[in-house]
Amino acid sequence: MPVFPLGAHVDDAGTRFAVASTSADAVEVCLVDGEEGALTERRVELTERTFGVWHGHLPGVGPGQRYGYRVHGPYRPWQGLRANPAKILVDPYARRITGHVTDLDAARGWVDDPMTGALNERDSLGHVPLSVVTGPDGLPAHPRPDVPWSETVISELHVRGYTRCHPEVPPEHRGTYLGLAHPAVVAHLSRIGVTAVELLPVTSIADEPPLLERGLPNYWGYATLGFLAPHAGYASVPGAEVEEFRTMVGALHAAGIEVILDIVPNHTAEGGVGGTTLSYRGLDAPAYYSLGGNGHDADITGTGNTLDAGSPTVIRLVCDAMRHWVTAFGVDGFRIDLASVLGRPRSGAFDPHAPLLTAIAVDPVLSRVKLIAEPWDATGEGYRVGGFGVAWSEWNGRFRDAVRDFWRGHGGIAEVASRLSGSSDLYAGNGRRPWASVNFVTAHDGFTLRDLLSYERKHNEANGEHNRDGTDDNRSQNFGVEGPTTSPVVAERRLSAARGMLATMLLSTGTPMLLGGDEIWRTQGGNNNAYCQDNAISWVDWDGGEAAESLTAFVARVTAIRRSSPALHRDRFYRDGEVLWWHPAGRRLRGHDWHDGGLHSLGLLRGEWLLLLHSGPDAIPCTLPAGGPFVPELDSTRPDGAPVSVRPLPAGTTITQPARSLLLLRAPTD
């Protein structure tokens, strides 16, 4: 009888079950029937064991059957061994998961103390999620768009939050996979030039113990229970998450929009040793988790546990799961949360050629899709931006910080110039292209764009952590008023700065990433860590009025300009002489200019495009370089970006550049 693939796989006679556990003495598959409060269970021991995999065939079992595993074996917490047959466990390879943790005490494997207390013999059935047998995987509903990296424009968004309040989406579909597939939503994404959505986690989510104790959800979803199963909470019809997810991908693909999944192969929802026993901890904690010498979980993720990136069990699970999303659903890529962890086998030193990173990069399926690393973890030297291998693009936090600092008038121009031109200092050395830099100003973790320009301090009181959570390094500005304002002057300054920052990001060399909702001027009320807020704080408000419509039109204009010229989505780094850095006084930038902390203006001439940035609080004269005449194409001080005049300006003309503005001009080519 075949051992692989792992998981539950239906054939004509029944279902084959296979689960990995090297430390178990015995494993039972448990078939669950009945309704909530009156569940029944039939246990069948898996008597075959091959290469650490327990497996067997159960006749007559088909799709829709709920099941779990019970593991018998040693319970020695000081060695990390926590087998407890009273806990029914989710299959790590389940392709559908149902239910929630409804009783935290029942879900824990210990009594009194996780290290010295007795084994908790209370049965968890009826209080924890269960796996569900599914039929064979279908085929993707539509061919993948295969958008080149150099032409990619990403919107990072939350499946639930982006459409939960959308007025054109039917109420029953708001906040679901089908909501994101709605023609009005797809049309909006197309209008603003998005070629890929990067979805916050959609793999099966379970709230961690600290949130369960506070009665709050993990809204962002960085708490994975099952790596192969779509999250059931985003389906409009219970149990239809697989089909609805496939429909969503097909609708986006039909519009030429790729789907990138944010996945979390660095930790699970079980938390630290004081947490729950839902799957991995009970199956074989030493094979899944990086453990300290005393049986505690190593924690370089800040979540209580860390998956061991050097474990063959983990490497196989992560690669199998990612491959499943590509082959079964047709997804176009992945953003790896805390990807630096994947380069730290057994929580050790970072190695860009570590086994798990290498396995993903050379996989014949995964190497053909977009791979994005969040180059960070919770160790002291965790920030590894620029440190990944040639197969990887990266969220470029240095771009974010440089653009925020420039537009608030902090520091000089050297850092932002490096980021504008593709961050060759980070990515050229190992043969990567400019699009390896995923350029962003805002993301889910932090202020929205509106809040970045409305608050100088975080306001996270609703999270229940006394405003201690979330970063204090926001590099934000409020233009003299903390929060909402009735001043039209302050309101327009904020919007003008927003347009300047958006245009900077969209016109820089690299891959731009919008935070979904920024284009309609979304606020979170100053909360910069809304991970547990499944409510109006996090949901996108589509009734944004005139500011939302004008900002949407502005983004659409800039992305259209970007698409119109290969020079604005270049896939090669610039060589000496291919760009001209320009001083507003009408000369090339000189060596000392790059170190002038008081210089807040610069120009960049690349091909036929002249980009002028000025973050100072007052208007300045700016003399145009040779190479004209120049035709104005974009003015960030205008609500929709359309210049007041498109009259050609001869080379050498001195114009007045407004305060806090970005201007884009084009030299006509024959």
Q: Return the active site residues.
A: 337, 374
The span from the CA of 541 to the CA of 518, in Å, is 11
Helices assigned H by DSSP within 289-374: 312-329, 355-362
Which tokens sit at 370?
């977009």
CB distance 319 to 366 below 8 Å: yes
Which uninterrupted H or E stretch holds 661?
strand 661-666
- What residues are paired with 30 via a beta bridge? 43, 68
The span from the CA of 1 to the CA of 267, in Å, is 32
In 3-state terms the chain splits into helix, strand, coil percentages (rounded to 5) of: 25, 20, 50
**How do beta strands 511-515 and 154-157 pair?**
parallel
- At which residue do the structure tokens 């000369």 appear? 587
The span from the CA of 246 to the CA of 96, in Å, is 13
**How do beta strands 97-98 and 130-132 pair?**
antiparallel
Could you please report the per-residue DSSP string of 557-598? Answer: HHHHHHHH-GGGS-SSPPPTTSEEEEETTTEE--GGGGG-TT
* DSSP state at residue 463: G
Torsion of Cα atoms, 55 then 56 then 62 then 65, to 10°:
-60
* DSSP state at residue 177: H
Which tokens sit at 253?
């693909």
Helix axes 488-507, 545-564, angle to 10 degrees: 20
* DSSP state at residue 60: T
The span from the CA of 281 to the CA of 274, in Å, is 11
3-state secondary structure of 620: strand
Torsion of Cα atoms, 345 then 347 then 350 then 354, to 10°:
10
The span from the CA of 81 to the CA of 295, in Å, is 8
Could you please report the per-residue DSSP string of 229-249? Answer: EE-GGG-SSTT-HHHHHHHHH
Residues whose CB falls within 8 Å of the CB of residue 185, separated by 6 or more in sequence, listed in order: 162, 163, 166, 168, 169, 179
Label residue 181 exposed, middle or buried (CB < 10 Å: 0-12, 13-18, 19+): buried
